Amino acid sequence: MTEVVVSTQTPDVTLDVCRACQFVWFDATEYEQLPLSPAPPSEYEGLSPKSREQLAIFKVEQLAKQARETVWGTDPPEEWWKVLAAWLGMPIEYDVEPLKRLPWMTWSLIGLITLVSVLAFFDLEKVVHRYGLIPAQIERYGGLTLITSFFLHAGIFHLVSNMYFLLIFGDNVEEYLGRWRFLLLLLAATVAGDLLHVAADPRSEIPCIGASGGISGVLACYALAFPRARLGFLFRYFIYYFRWMYMPAYAALILWVLSQLLGAYMQIHGISSVSALAHLGGAGMGVVFWFVCSKRGVG
């Protein structure tokens, strides 16, 4: 115990204070002798009872509106292209810090993938069978179809949707990891997704193409590296009624993983031709990259 002297207008008060637990012991009448601290000024000070009631109601309404808009809202994004993307079923990015440098690697990859895919559209069936990933022929070209399949897409919407995801998530992940780690993540996620796809049916002769396995790794890394980021989605009911929904990126990742697990079940049982297993394999590699890089203080 130690004694602490408190000065007052009356004779000073000596209090007993425990150094270990920081409790204060008051003897008889000691607490009453302590000076009272003035109350902080109130924002209601000087207002009439009616004005105080209106201010309180306004604050309650603002809190309720803020609580609602953390999930549901009606205000569309300001950028027209974001509105268009949302109408096409794409997520909209919010609350991410501005980039400190231009994402040259992301832009270059988008340009290269788009160029290769568009050129392949002129003779798509032949190109897909030659350079797509065929599980039963995984050794073709020394295994390079694990990579060449990344640059091919089945159609315009397949290409545009994948490039959109790479654009909105890739720039932030590139800045977080650095250009070459970002490129390594895409490579590792692509190969991991391809191998998991092959493992599901190694005798399949059906070609698998698309960059979504690698992009899934970018998406997973993004959701974990930027926990304050939010994603917006446009939900449409019937024809005219729609609502905007907002959620943290990590919550969207959880829902996406659950949907991919369902997709993987459908893929294994031959119900779906979409390779959800490739998505899950790529996402797993994204989690690994985020874990390793966060432990090393990257970003």
Question: What are the chain's domains?
Answer: 2-33 (no CATH), 78-295 (1.20.1540.10)
Q: Confidence band (pLDDT; 50, 70, 90) for 151?
A: very high
| Extended strands (E) in 49-103 | 72-73, 92-94
- pLDDT above 60: residue 68: no
Higher pLDDT, 258 or 1: 258
Q: What is the pLDDT of residue 239?
A: 64
Task: With CA atoms as reference, report the closest residue to 209 among 262, 273, 266, 164.
Answer: 273
> Six-digit token pair at 216?
């899934």
Mean pLDDT computed over 51-60: 76
Comparing 70 with 254, the larger pLDDT belongs to 254
Task: Record the tokens describing residue 72, joined without a space.
Answer: 């549901």
Could you read off the pLDDT of 164-181 as tens digits, one per residue? 999 999 999 999 999 999
pLDDT at res. 145: 95
89, pLDDT greater than 90: no
Tell me the mean pLDDT in the region 33-37. Answer: 66
Which pLDDT belongs to residue 186? Answer: 97
Nearest to 166 by CA among 275, 23, 62, 286: 286
pLDDT at 74 (0 to 100):
54
**Mean per-residue pLDDT over the chain, rounded:** 85
Reference 146, options 213, 203, 191, 206; nearest CA is: 191
- The average pLDDT across 49-73 equals 67
113 pLDDT above the threshold of 80:
yes
Categorize the per-residue pLDDT at 52 as very low, low, confident or very high, splitting at 50, 70 and 90. confident
φ and ψ at 203, to 5 degrees?
A: -100, 5
Q: Is the pLDDT of residue 98 over 60?
A: yes
